Amino acid sequence: MANIGVIGGGAWGTALAMTAAKAKNDVYLYAREPETVSEINTSHRTTFLPAAQLPETIMATTDIASVLSWADCVLLAVPAQYTRSVFTQMAPLLKTVTPVVLCAKGIELSTGLLMSEVIQEIRPQTPLVVLSGPGFAAEVAKERPTAVTIASQSQMLAERVCRYMKTTYFRPYSSTDLITPEVCGAIKNVMAIASGISDGCDFGDNARAALLTRGLAEMSRFAVAVGGKKDSVLGLSGIGDLMLTANSHQSRNYSCGFEIGQAGWAKPVLEHCTKTVEGVATAQSVMKRARQLGVEMPICAAVEAIIYYEKPIKDVMKDLLSRPLRAE
* Separation between Cα atoms, residue 232 and residue 242, nearest integer Å: 13
**3-state secondary structure at position 281:** helix
| Cβ neighbours of 294 (radius 10 Å) | 7
* Separation between Cα atoms, residue 268 and residue 203, nearest integer Å: 21
For 289-318, the three-class secondary structure string (H helix, E strand, C coil) is HHHHHCCCCHHHHHHHHHHHCCCCHHHHHH
H helices present in the chain, as ranges: 11-22, 34-43, 64-70, 83-90, 115-122, 137-141, 155-165, 179-200, 205-225, 241-245, 252-263, 267-271, 278-293, 298-308, 313-321
Q: Which of 54, 25, 55, 15 shows the shortest CA–CA distance to 170?
A: 15
| Cβ neighbours of 302 (radius 10 Å) | 23
**Letter for the amino acid at 30?**
Y
* Separation between Cα atoms, residue 265 and residue 306, nearest integer Å: 7
Asked if 75 contacts 16 with a C-beta cutoff of 8 angstroms, the reply is: yes
Catalytic residues, by residue number, are 188
List beta partners, residue 201: none
Asked if 177 contacts 201 with a C-beta cutoff of 8 angstroms, the reply is: no
* Separation between Cα atoms, residue 258 and residue 61, nearest integer Å: 37
